[in-house]
Structure 1
């Protein structure tokens, strides 16, 4: 199995994370702990499958095989106790692409779409860049844990947005929504006839004892109001291979999605992406279990370091994802001052909290999907920056 402690040199691999950091952040010698990919190799069976496919030497138009569909269905049945139907499935290069297609397929320019902030920046983009109106339902931070403001959510859904885009588990606040919370969301969507687009790309990256509930795991009466976006990309570090799944139970909604997808001449998935997806879902379970154990230890390292060395920084304890939400607000710096402090004094590149919406002011997002030694170095760099204020 993979040794997650191995530090693999990603420089000069066209990596956004490693080769684009200076251009993005404007500083030399930064430790990149920002964009959400992992510094770990994909599972060995995936690597072997890709190598075998390359050895075949012909890369013509490629359909999604029966074996791939079987692997997808089995994965969600086994890992998530959710029975997806074969005919529900359609495909796209990425979850973000699926969100953009959904916005266009199910709404018109000038219509409104709802998101819950702070949230993954492309949620804003797929709404605004497609000339839709943005409605936000800000999450509530109480007792160091985020929750949903359901009173505000009902007020906003009563305005009849065409779509609600749900991040489940949530990026960046790392909440795993409970079944009760999901049912309340779906009941409101039914009441106000709003389509729920559920982005579940982080579904596999959940820390025990938390348990992810898929939107399509719930009562069938909700199914006509759910579009579920899935992908192995975050789970198995395959984002660059461009393959994702969309589960759409309603036949009319599925046809609308596929019609809009085809308007741009899109059809088959990337050949190697399809190969990787099928193999990851078919043979990646043991690797994922080891990964989750390793990531949980990285979370513990950060928790302990903050407790012992950084009393002015607070960690919002993650229930899922490898993305930690750090609260620097007690430093009483502007967001620009905070960003520049960490870059210039600490030499560490993280995602600014305000990139997730105004509710992220005072926060930074830290990617810990890397060897533990790198996590420790990152924490030392944060300490160096913070202590420079004394």
Structure 2
């Protein structure tokens, strides 16, 4: 077993680190609970990133920072290498978090009551930013067809005919795990062009497209689409850096870019934290091999989880993930009542997952399992869930 796989198998105690995933859970359930919930990984960050952060920590002075050529070169290199997208330095705008950027975009490019479209079920901080900014949230439900979620293009067009200012697009999709195909993206782009809709694409899970699937940055479809697209990227999910807060908002359109920069300054958002940029530079220039091994490990976790559920809890339906390290599971054969699912999984099994209603309409009776965790911990969690499995008791 190589050194990277050995590090992936290492179980690291995250209690006492101010972890949103583990310490919040411990306050409610205690430290015997297992967390497969919040979408950060329980896998060690690559050694190249750790070395970069240790080097900065050893400096001993943690003053204000700024952005210089190596940061931009690293982002350009990553987009070129991973997605064959040649971007210009001036297109790249630093923002701490993608959700923060989405909120600023909504504030600057729409007025109160303007209509903003999302696909549901979805990662809720995105639609929540619409509501909190007093815009009108328009939800277009994804359709589950033969075990695969698909966009309802007729429904999208009906909404756009009534007026939509922004499409908040999640690609790859969270929680369903869809990696949108190029033909699907072309249909989305055509609608947005026809009805003059700004595309804001959250592509934070882009680096996790599984074998047989390929992530396409929607802005690469054409220069015309690039000019109406804001692409939100980050190394946070890929390299487990969420707590360092760094995202790259890529905006080819100069007018859109200037507007976003203005709104950032108006909101007092500027300059990265001390450790964020060195971590990104290491991630995007020195961790390609590590990421390849991580993808293989995650796909192994997916295969393990699917096989375990099929053998021990066959009434549950796993939605085949095409991307992300998240597993969307239909538990409606057990119950459509989320409180009953929580009683089974949280209270009786001692495992914390993300429950479906947290993802809005279409989530009832579903759970999302975070598979970015050591195999042994995943196995223990699934065994706990199986032992408490209500259908096994009937």
1:70 corresponding residue in structure 2: 73
Structure 1 residue ranges, 4+ long, deviating more than 6 angstroms after superposition: none
1:239 corresponding residue in structure 2: 242
Q: Distance in 2 between matches of 1:146 and 1:350?
A: 21
Superposition deviation, residue 58 in structure 1: 2.4
Q: Distance in 2 between matches of 1:328 and 1:189?
A: 35
Check the 8 A contact 1:345/1:384 in 2, yes or no.
no
Check the 8 A contact 2:220/2:226 in 1, yes or no.
no
Superposition deviation, residue 385 in structure 1: 2.5
2:335 corresponding residue in structure 1: 332
Q: Residue deviations 1:181-221, cap 9 Å, x none?
A: 01100110010001010000000011111100011221111
1:9 corresponding residue in structure 2: 13
Bigger mean CA offset, 28-37 vs 193-202: 28-37
Structure 1 length normalisation: TM-score? Answer: 0.97
Check the 8 A contact 2:344/2:385 in 1, yes or no.
no
Structure 2 length normalisation: TM-score? Answer: 0.96
1:210 corresponding residue in structure 2: 213
Q: Distance in 2 between matches of 1:28 and 1:290?
A: 30
**Could you say what secondary structure the match of 2:167 adopts?**
strand
Equivalences for residues 1-390 of structure 1 within 5 A: 1-2=3-4, 3-23=7-27, 29-387=32-390, 389-390=393-394
**Could you say what secondary structure the match of 1:91 adopts?**
strand
Check the 8 A contact 1:146/1:173 in 2, yes or no.
yes
Superposition deviation, residue 383 in structure 1: 1.0
Check the 8 A contact 1:140/1:147 in 2, yes or no.
yes
Bigger mean CA offset, 52-61 vs 264-273: 52-61
Please list every run of 5 or more consecutive structure 1 residues that lacks an aligned counterpart in the other structure.
Answer: none
Please provide the CA RMSD for this pair.
1.3
From the superposition, tell whether residues 27 and 155 of structure 1 become closer, same or farther in structure 2 (CA, over 3 Å).
farther
Q: Distance in 1 between matches of 2:287 and 2:99?
A: 23
Check the 8 A contact 1:27/1:343 in 2, yes or no.
no
Check the 8 A contact 1:202/1:321 in 2, yes or no.
yes
Q: Distance in 2 between matches of 1:27 and 1:337?
A: 20
**Could you say what secondary structure the match of 2:70 adopts?**
helix
Check the 8 A contact 1:345/1:385 in 2, yes or no.
yes
From the superposition, tell whether residues 130 and 26 of structure 1 become closer, same or farther in structure 2 (CA, over 3 Å).
farther
Check the 8 A contact 1:72/1:282 in 2, yes or no.
no
Q: Distance in 1 between matches of 2:23 and 2:30?
A: 12
Check the 8 A contact 1:117/1:136 in 2, yes or no.
yes
Number of matched residues? Answer: 389
Check the 8 A contact 2:336/2:364 in 1, yes or no.
no
Q: Distance in 2 between matches of 1:116 and 1:384?
A: 35
Superposition deviation, residue 389 in structure 1: 4.5
Check the 8 A contact 1:343/1:349 in 2, yes or no.
yes
Superposition deviation, residue 337 in structure 1: 1.4
Q: Distance in 2 between matches of 1:302 and 1:233?
A: 24
Superposition deviation, residue 57 in structure 1: 2.2
**Could you say what secondary structure the match of 1:137 adopts?**
strand
Q: Distance in 2 between matches of 1:252 and 1:133?
A: 24
